[in-house]
Amino acid sequence: MKNAFGEPQSLLLVGGASEIAMATAMRLVRRRVRRVILAGRPSPARDAAAARLAEAGASVETADFDAFRVEEHAKVIGDVFADGDVDVALVACGLQGDAELDPLKAADVAMVNYVGAMTAAIVCADAMRRQTHGALVVFSSVSAGRPSPSDFLYASAKSGLDAFARGLTEALRGSGVHVMVVRPGFVRSRMTRGVTPPAIATSPETVAGAILDGLRAKSEVVWVPGILGQLTRLPGSIVRRITG
Amino acid sequence: MANKTILTGWGRTSPSAAELLRPGAEAELTPLVLAPGGRGMIARGLGRSYGDPAQNAGGLVLDMTGLAAIGPVRDGYVTVEAGVSLHRLMRELVPEGWFPPVTPATRQVTVGGAVAADIHGRNHHADGSFGSHVTALDLLGADGVTRTLTPDDPDFWATVGGMGLTGVITKATIRLTPIETSRMIVNTWKCADLESVMTRLTQADLAHRYTAAWVDCLSRQGRGVVEGADHARQGAARSFRARGFEASPGFLPVGLLNRHTMGLVNRGLYATTKRESTQVRPLASFFHPLDRVGHWNRLYGPRGLVQYQFVVPLGAEQTLMKIVERIRRSHAASFQTVLKRFGPGSGGWLSFPTPGWSLALDFPTTTKGLAWLLDRLDELVAEAGGRVYLAKDSRLRPELLPVMYPGLAAFRERRRQLDPRLVFQSDLARRLSL
């Protein structure tokens, strides 16, 4: 349950521990979050993330979640909610992919970024509707609205997820559940190391800060940095040049 | 689930949605308990707890005010249903010469709530908390069976102060206080600093049944006014009349309660108080300052208020003074700051009062840095062996609860034995993992 200051106490990270998800989790743990559930594939990265969060003072649980195995999502995530209310869930399943037009690789990108993320979000949304509270944070991307030759497979999947999340926002209005779509621009992280950042780039810490602000303000769409929201009116070719 | 109602505590923070039912008879409760739904249920009285103990997000909340029968008084004892308010009890019983054994600063609480929070009043140093005056109570358990518990039964003490989580309290037998008149003889002393407030309060406890002090947390010295009172024995006839505005005026601008306005009000209150005086006052005027303006909580605006009440043991005076100083320095303005010395505790496992100094404060939720400040105060309180009051809490860090309440482990264990399916659930229980 959130406290009188609106601070969440439990957090579910779906899709493992990306830098953005971890930066957000660490900030929330430094506030009031005490129970963290890492739902992702068993891996040294998941263990390391669990250790870091535990060191920060959280009681950490793990759940074996695989974005590809959609038939398991209801059970895996359902069990997490059965053990106690979840105040915030971050759905951050992500697979960058590349520009290669390989149908199977493209299917993987769509499965992780769109299908798996969507089914996980549906299970979370349903559980939160029953508990009549909670915030569901869905990671989209600025590229969802601006596909480029280098990332349009990823962008197309994020575009589907983005549309789903905005629809879910409407569907859950009045239920007590807060759905928030996060659209970061280019994020300087391990994943983008070696890539020359565009004029407007951001960092995992900045995205995490924006997510916390959005949770507090109950925002429905969060652009990071915020200026990106203003750029949508410009022609795509110009925006591409600034945001990468 | 249909027809969800948004509920909050008196502080109006952390709203949550639940199905609200108002049973008219005890028999209606059993089927509800036996088919609780996935999110359980909790009993609610008049919603005067400041935080979230009478809320149950996504579940069922039982409005108990429909169970409000008052039995006859026999040898100073009365058996009442849980939804009876202290207000009604006073209206009916004061003319007959009886007074509730304990009353908080508002009459608008139910007997069920009074037991569940094991409430205290200005006579705590002399008479203890509400639970100490209950000789029997009926508890509807998770198994659908109603048991009559007496103080000999450990479950009685799990229930007194148990925040409604051991079952639904349906009836209680209470020992009443005999009174000869409905007037109070009230002595007032003005004290220039916190130390003299504490000294005067200690002296007043020896001489008077009802004592408390108002402290001006915004003043540099922590000045205040101490009151010591007793029931008047002769003179006026017994009658109970309570005057007050029905509701706080709606036109007051949000943010009217701030450090500057409160500083002015405090200065005015202090300046107009005589150095020492004795007055005869009606019961309600002495006991229930909070009932003078109905819905006064709305004065704090849509974000509401956060109440903070703690007790630190006798001997931890330095901690108390440190806390008052810290609040003053933080510029957080508490409108109603009440200092009280507690006597021995009742024995309730999660009961709040323990021997020591209790300070109650209320802050607008929007006060800058308040969340951080209260976290630091919690640490000082826990370090001194003190605790905060669950009926007022809305923001404690869960990990401090077992430090503050040594009875918590036993309570958790017993709750899970009595109620393995966790039929009785509240937002408070979820927030603090009770």
pLDDT reported for residue B254 = 60
Which of A92-96, B42-46, B281-285 has maximum average pLDDT? B42-46
Question: Rounded distance, CA B228 to CA B207, Å?
Answer: 8
CATH assignment at residue A195: 3.40.50.720
Mapped onto helix, strand or coil, the DSSP state of residue B236 is coil
Please compute the mean of the pLDDT values over residues B402-422 and round it to a whole number.
97
In this complex, do A3 and B14 lie within 8 Å of one another by their Cβ atoms? yes
| Segment B287-296 mean pLDDT | 83
Query: Which domains occur in chain B, in start order?
Result: 65-179 (3.30.465.10), 183-232+251-395 (3.40.462.10)
Question: Which tens digit of pLDDT belongs to each residue from B313-337?
Answer: 999 999 999 999 999 999 898 988 9
Confidence (pLDDT) at B244 = 52
Best residue of B362, B372, B431, B432 to probe chain A, by most A CBs closer than 10 Å = B431
A73 in a domain, yes or no? Answer: yes
B366 Cβ contact partners less than 8 Å away, ≥ 6 residues apart: B301, B303
Kindly give, in sequence order, each residue whose CB lies less than 8 Å from that of residue A174, ignoring residues fewer than 6 positions away: none
* pLDDT at B1 (0 to 100): 46
CB contact under 8 Å between A85 and B371, yes or no, is no
Q: What is the pLDDT of residue B251?
A: 53
More confident residue, B179 or B300: B179
Residue A1 lies in a domain: no
* In the predicted structure, residue B416 carries a pLDDT above the cut 70: yes
Average the pLDDT over each of A44-53, A131-140, A185-194, B65-74 and give the range with the smallest value: A185-194
Q: In this model, does residue A8 exceed pLDDT 60?
A: yes
Average pLDDT value over all residues in chain A:
91
Contact present, B99 and B179 (Cβ < 8 Å): yes
pLDDT in tens, B131-146: 999 999 999 999 999 9
Taking an 8 Å cut-off on Cβ atoms, the answer to whether A1 and B431 are in contact is yes
Kindly state whether residue A4 falls inside one of the protein's structural domains. Answer: no
Nearest to A133 among B57, B371, B394 (CB): B57
Look up A114 and say whether it is catalytic. no
Domain span at residue A173? 10-243
pLDDT in tens, A30-64: 999 999 999 999 999 999 999 999 999 999 999 99
Chain B residues with a Cβ under 8 Å from any Cβ in chain A: 4, 11, 13-14, 16-18, 38-39, 51-52, 57-58, 304, 306, 365, 370-371, 394-399, 427-428, 430-431
Q: Which residue of B has its CA nearest to A127?
A: B58
Is residue A118 in some structural domain?
Answer: yes
Best probe of the A interface among B5, B55, B430, B433, by most A CBs < 10 A, is: B430
Taking CB atoms and an 8 Å cutoff, what residues of chain A touch B16?
1, 132-133, 176
pLDDT at B341 over 90: yes
Alpha-carbon distance of B96 to B75, in angstroms, equals: 12
Question: In this predicted structure, what is the pLDDT of residue B234?
Answer: 78
Query: Residue A91 domain-assigned?
Result: yes
Q: What are phi and psi of B318, to 5 degrees?
A: -60, -40
pTM over 0.90: yes
DSSP B373-396: HHHHHHHHHHHTT-EE-TTT-S--
Contacts B39 to A, Cβ<8 Å = 130-131
Give the Å distances, CA to CA, from A203 to A21, A28, A185, A200, B355: 12, 17, 9, 11, 53
Domains in chain A: how many in total? 1
Q: Is position A5 within any domain?
A: no
From the list A154, A164, A186, A223, the catalytic residue is A154
CB-based contact A4 B397, cutoff 8 Å: no
Closest-CA residue to B306 (of B12, B69, B19, B96):
B12
Q: Domain for residue A2, yes or no? A: no
B371 contacts in chain A (CB < 8 Å): 5, 7
Q: Could you tell me which residue, B403 or B303, shows the higher pLDDT? A: B403
**Chain A residue with Cα closest to B308:** A4
pLDDT tens digits, residue range A94-121?
888 777 889 999 999 999 999 999 999 9
| A56 near B CB under 8 A | no
- pLDDT tens digits, A204-227: 999 999 999 999 999 999 998 877
Asked whether residue A130 is domain-assigned, the answer is yes
Whether the ipTM is more than 0.85: the answer is yes
DSSP three-state, residue B276: strand
Rg for chain B (alpha carbons), in Å? 21
**Structure token digits, residue A12:** 């579910």
Q: Is the peptide bond before A225 cis (omega within 30 degrees of 0)?
A: yes
Instruction: Report the pLDDT value the prediction gives residue A101, as an integer from 0 to 100.
Output: 86
A1·B4 Cβ contact <8 A: no
CB contact under 8 A, A176 and B16: yes
Average pLDDT, chain B: 93
